[in-house]
Structure 1
Amino acid sequence: MNDPTTKFTAMTNAINPQKAFSAFSCLFLVIMLNSCMGLTKSHGYLDKDDPPLKEPVVMPWNAPSIPQGYHPSGNNFAGHLGIDIIGPRNTSVIAVDSGTIMTTKWDLLYGYQVVIRHNVKHEGKFVISRYLHLNARVVEAGDEVKRGQEIGTLGSTGFLATYPHLHFELGFAKTKKQHFFITENPHKYWYDGVGKISCFDKTKEYKKKTLGITYPLLCQ
C-alpha cells in the first residue's frame, strides 16, 4: 500500500521554492496592477468612491485620471491621505500654485518627492503640497517656483508605488518650517471652486490671493 506521507514528502520536495516565490510575486503584481489600474481610463476617470463632499466632483474629460481618491480613514484598509493620478512615466509634474521648495528627497516608501510651501495662507496656516513617487526632480530646496512650473516627472519610485502615478497631498502647517502637516481633501481647494478640478492654463492670468490650486499634471 502506498504511504500518503511518502507521497506528500515527494511532492513537497519537487517544488522549487524560488520558482514558487517568483510565481507568487508575479500573481501579486498582476492583482495589484488590476486593482490600481484595471479598466481605468487614462483621462477623465474619477475614483467612484472619491470622497463625500456636499458638491459633486467634476472631472474634466482631458484630465489624467484619479484611480484612488482621498480617504483619510475608514473607507479603505489604511486610509489614503492624498489623490493618485495616473500617467505615462516621465510625464511632467507641475506646481499647483506658486511657492518655495521646502525639500526634495528620497524616501524608502515614497521614493523621490518634492514638498512646496506656497505663498498663500489658509485660515492662518501655511499651505503645503507634496508630490510623491517621482521618477526625477528638477528643482532644489530653496528654489522659487511658479504655478504650472515643472518640478519633476511622474514615476513609480518607492516601495509603496506599484505602478507609475503621482501621489499628491495638500495640507496645512502651523509654522513656516514644519514638514509634518495635516492633510485635507484637495477637491475642496481647486481654483475654480470646490469639486471643480482645475486644469492649468498657461494663457490664463491667475489673480486669486487666496488658496486655489490647479491640477498637478497637464490636461491633454
Structure 2
Amino acid sequence: MKLCRLSVIALCLLLSACFAPERETGWAVGYGRSYAAPLSVTMPENAYAITQQFRRAELYSGGSEVTDHFGIDVHAPLGTPVLAVASGRVIASHWEPGYGHRIEVDHGTDGNGHSAQTNYVHLRKRLVRVGDQVKQGQQIATLGATGLTAGGFPHLHFEVLYKGTKLRTHAADPNLFWAKGIGRVTCFAKRHVWRPAQAFKITYPVACVNE
C-alpha cells in the first residue's frame, strides 16, 4: 500500500513537471535530424510552445517514413485567442471533418509581387465570416481541438501559402516570415505591423501571455 502511494506521488510529480506553466511557453521543438536545412528558432518567453515544425518529406534524407506537415502546431489552452498574422480578407470560414473549424485569410500581393495566404485549423470557435476584412493582431477565433486530425490535442495548426494557393506546392515554413527575422518568433505588437509594400511578414498566430 505504501509503495502504491509512493508510486502515485511520483507519477503526480512527473506530470506536474511536464505540464508546469513555464513549459507551456518559451520553447519550440526542433526540426528532424535529417532535415536538409533546419532553422534555428528563437521563442519569446511568453509565446506558447511550437510542438511540431513545418516538414516537407522531400527535404529529408533516408526515407519514405517521413510525412509532410505543411505548417506549425502551437499548443495552448483551449479558448486562447487566435490572431490574424497579417491584414487581409477572409476567404474561408467553415467546419470540415478532418480539420474541424477552419479559417483562411488572403493577404494579397506583397512588395515582391508574391501572393500570400494563411490557414488556421482545429479552431474551437470562428469569429469571422467570408468577406470580412481583418487587421493584423485581430482576434479571429479561439484555439481548439476540433477535427479528426487534431487527435483531441488542443493546438492551432497554422499554415502559410506563398507564391500560390496550392498547399502541396506552395506551403512555406512560417518560420521564414516572422517580423523580427527568420526564425525569430514575433508576438504581435503595433510596431511589427506588416504593410503590403514590403516583403510578407507575420506575427504569432496565437496571443502571447500577458499581451
Does the TM-score normalized on the shorter chain lie above 0.5?
A: yes
Instruction: Count matched residues.
Output: 180
Letter in 2 for 1:63: A
8 Å Cα contact 1:98/1:119 also seen in 2: no
| Residues 39-68 of structure 1: per-residue CA shift (max 9 Å, x gap) | 792101211226665762111111000111
- Report matched runs for 1:62-211 at 5 Å: 62-73=46-57, 77-121=66-110, 123-162=112-151, 163-174=153-164, 178=165, 182-202=170-190, 204=191, 206=193, 208=195, 209-211=198-200
User: Alignment partner of 2:50: what SS?
Assistant: coil
Give, in whole Å, the separation in 2 of the partners of 1:91 and 1:169: 18
CA pair 132-55 structure 1, distance change in 2 beyond 3 A: closer
Give, in whole Å, the separation in 1 of the partners of 2:163 and 2:137: 22
- TM-score between both structures, scaled by the size of structure 2: 0.77
8 Å Cα contact 1:98/1:118 also seen in 2: yes
CA pair 182-155 structure 1, distance change in 2 beyond 3 A: same
Displacement of 1:205 in angstroms is 6.0
- Within the candidate set 15, 20, 24, 1:42 is matched to 24
User: Alignment partner of 1:130: what SS?
Assistant: strand
Q: Extract structure 1 runs of 4+ deviating beyond 6 A.
A: none
Displacement of 1:173 in angstroms is 4.9
Displacement of 1:119 in angstroms is 3.9
Letter in 2 for 1:171: L
Give, in whole Å, the separation in 1 of the partners of 2:111 and 2:156: 24
Larger gyration radius, structure 1 or structure 2 = 1
**Unaligned ranges ≥5, structure 1:** 1-33
Give, in whole Å, the separation in 2 of the partners of 1:122 and 1:171: 16
CA pair 52-188 structure 1, distance change in 2 beyond 3 A: farther
CA RMSD of aligned residues (A): 2.4
Give, in whole Å, the separation in 1 of the partners of 2:171 and 2:54: 10
Displacement of 1:78 in angstroms is 1.8
